[in-house]
């Protein structure tokens, strides 16, 4: 665990891409489950991004 933390703190760009990937994955899952695909996953990701900002 310490190795992963050390690598991610030294490579912040990698961490940023990993966080964006996680948000996209969660948003597509939420889109499928909550709206049955009527609201696109990228729209949910934009809403999550606005809430986080």
Residues counted in the chain: 53
Q: List per-residue pLDDT tens for the chain, 53 residues long.
A: 888 888 878 888 888 998 999 999 999 999 999 888 788 999 999 999 999 89
Which pLDDT value is given to residue 5? 84
How many Cα atoms sit within 13 Å of 11 on the Cβ side?
11
Which pLDDT value is given to residue 14? 85
pTM above 0.85, yes or no: no
Which pLDDT value is given to residue 20? 92
From its phi and psi, is residue 41 left (phi > 0), alpha (psi between -120 and 50) or beta? alpha
């Amino acid at each position: 665990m310490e190795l992963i933390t050390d690598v991610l703190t030294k490579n912040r760009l990698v961490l940023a891409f990993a966080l964006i990937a996680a948000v996209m994955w969660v948003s597509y899952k939420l889109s499928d489950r909550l709206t049955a695909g009527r609201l696109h996953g990228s729209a949910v990701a934009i809403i999550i991004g606005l809430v986080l900002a």
